[in-house]
Amino acid sequence: MIRRPAAVLFDCDGVLADSEAVVNAIVAESLTALGWPLSAAEAQHAFLGLALPDMVPRIEARVGPLPEDWAEGLSHRIAAAMTERTMPIPGAVEAVHRVVAAGVPVACASNSARLELAAKLRGLGLAGVFGARVFSHEDVRRAKPWPDLYRAAAEACGASPGDCVVVEDSVPGVRAGLAAGCRVLGFAHETPAAVLAALGAEPFATMAELPGLLGLGD
C-alpha cells in the first residue's frame, strides 16, 4: 500500500509539456547562428534539464562571449513559440486533474524562465490548477540540480519535502528532487529508465501509471 503524498510537485518540460523538441530546435538554431552548428537532438543531449544561466558558460566555452541579451532573447522566442502551441505529454493534463480531484495539492517547479513557464502552463490549460504554486528558476537562488525549487514548491503546498512526491524526467531534475528530500518518480520519456533508476528515482513509462504510483489508484 503506497501512502498518499502530502503534495505532488511536477516538473514542466518533458513531464507536462512535450516542449523539448520545439525548445531544442530554437536553441540549436541560435547556437548554429553563433558558430556552434548542432542539431536539435544534439542540443537536447547537451542541455536537457538545465536552466539558461547554467547553459551560458558551456556555450561561451565553445563560441566565446555571448551577447548580453542572448538568454533573455532566447527565452522570449521560446515563450512566443509556447504561446502559439504547447503540446501536452499524453495523459499528463488528466493526471494532474486526477491528483487535484483526490484532494492532494499540486505545484510546478521548473528550470524555465518565468515568462516561458507561464506561457507553457497557459497553453496546457493548467495555469488555474497550479495558481500561485508555480516556481521558475528566477524565483529561487539556485536552479536544479539544487533543491531550492522543490523546497519552495513543497512549502507553497504547506507540506514537508519528505512527504512530497516529485515527478521529473531529467537528470538535473531528479537530483534536485532527491536533494530536497522528496520521493522522485522518473518519467522515462527523454531519459532512459535505467539512467533515472541509477540516480535513485522510481522510473515509469506512461502518465496513466501515475495515480497508482501515488497511491491514488482505485
Q: What does the binding site for Mg ion look like in residue numbers (CB under 5 A)?
A: 11, 13-14, 169-170
Which residues does 53 contact at the CB level (< 8 Å), separation at least 6? 71, 137, 143
Nearer to Mg ion, 11 or 116 (CB): 11
Nearer to Mg ion, 66 or 143 (CB): 143
The minimum distance between CB 218 and Mg ion, in angstroms, equals 28
Nearer to Mg ion, 66 or 169 (CB): 169
The minimum distance between CB 20 and Mg ion, in angstroms, equals 8
Nearer to Mg ion, 99 or 167 (CB): 167
The minimum distance between CB 104 and Mg ion, in angstroms, equals 21
The minimum distance between CB 86 and Mg ion, in angstroms, equals 14
How far apart are alpha carbons 138 and 113 in whole angstroms?
A: 6
As a three-state string, the secondary structure of the chain is CCCCCCEEEECCECCCECCHHHHHHHHHHHHHHCCCCCCHHHHHHHHCCCCHHHHHHHHHHHHCCCCCCHHHHHHHHHHHHHHHCCCECCCHHHHHHHHHHCCCCEEEECCCCHHHHHHHHHHHCCHHHHCCCEECHHHCCCCCCCCHHHHHHHHHCCCCHHHEEEEECCHHHHHHHHHHCCEEEEECCCCCHHHHHHHCCEEECCHHHHHHHCCCCC
Nearer to Mg ion, 14 or 88 (CB): 14
The minimum distance between CB 14 and Mg ion, in angstroms, equals 4
Nearer to Mg ion, 98 or 120 (CB): 120
Type of residue numbered 139? D
The minimum distance between CB 77 and Mg ion, in angstroms, equals 19
Indicate the residue whose CB is closest to Mg ion. Answer: 14
